[in-house]
């Protein structure tokens, strides 16, 4: 009976110490903003199809998550990522155009987030809020958790050819890291 009591007290003490260590570790969790931007310079060219009417475009850029200094600092200690917002801002356009069958994508080898637009007028200052209707922000969280460079792309058609526009894509996130883990 004495041995059973000692065993029980030992297990109880071990549980308290383990729980205490875990709680102490959580006390030093660090949250920080990691924001990423890239500018997509789009040139709309004439389509090459026999019945071509619209212009086409396709542009990609690469973002390295470790380009954010805090992300790089806690690179091996990141526990989670929460995407706050993904948006696009039209910086310039010449001449005014309307996009049709347009896709904005953020992807890596494992995950993809895609938004589709039809009949989207391109006007300087327009802000495109990229929503989470199909789990796109969740996919971007997974992309950032992989800690590898990823691709941002825009492609589609416009009602004009020989046009140009610039869009700045921004990803705002909050990252959770623990320097003790």
In the chain, domain spans: 30-177
Q: Which phi and psi (to 5°) does residue 17 adopt?
A: -65, -45
Where is 69: in which H helix or E strand? helix 69-73
pLDDT at residue 79, rounded to an integer: 95
> Over the stretch 71-103, which tens digit does the pLDDT of each residue have?
999 999 999 999 999 999 999 999 999 998 899
Q: What is the pLDDT of residue 46?
A: 86
Q: Cα separation of 56 and 92, whole Å?
A: 18
Output DSSP code: residue 166.
Answer: E
In this predicted structure, the answer to whether residue 34 has a pLDDT above a threshold of 70 is yes
Assess contact for 94 and 161: CB atoms under 8 A: no
Domain at 30-177, CATH from 1.10.10, 1.10.1740, 2.60.120, 1.10.3470: 2.60.120
The encoded tokens of residue 116 equal 């589709």
Confidence of residue 20 (pLDDT cuts 50, 70, 90): very low
Residues in the chain: 181
């Amino acid at each position: 009976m004495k041995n059973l009591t000692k065993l029980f007290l030992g297990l109880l003490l071990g549980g308290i110490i383990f729980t205490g260590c875990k709680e102490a570790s959580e006390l030093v969790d660090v949250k920080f903003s990691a924001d990423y931007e890239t500018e997509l310079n789009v040139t709309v060219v004439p389509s090459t199809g026999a019945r071509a009417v619209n212009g086409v475009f396709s542009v990609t850029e690469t973002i390295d998550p470790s380009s954010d200094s805090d992300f790089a600092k806690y690179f091996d200690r990141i526990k989670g990522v929460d995407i706050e917002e993904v948006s696009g801002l039209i910086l310039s356009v010449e001449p005014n155009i309307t996009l049709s069958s347009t896709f904005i994508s953020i992807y890596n080898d494992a995950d993809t987030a895609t938004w589709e637009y039809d009949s989207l007028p391109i006007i300087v200052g327009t802000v495109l809020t990229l929503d989470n209707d199909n789990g796109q922000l969740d996919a971007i969280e997974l992309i950032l958790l992989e800690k590898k460079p990823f691709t941002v792309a825009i492609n589609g058609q416009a009602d004009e050819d020989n046009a140009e526009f610039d869009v700045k894509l921004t990803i705002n996130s909050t990252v959770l890291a623990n320097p003790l883990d």
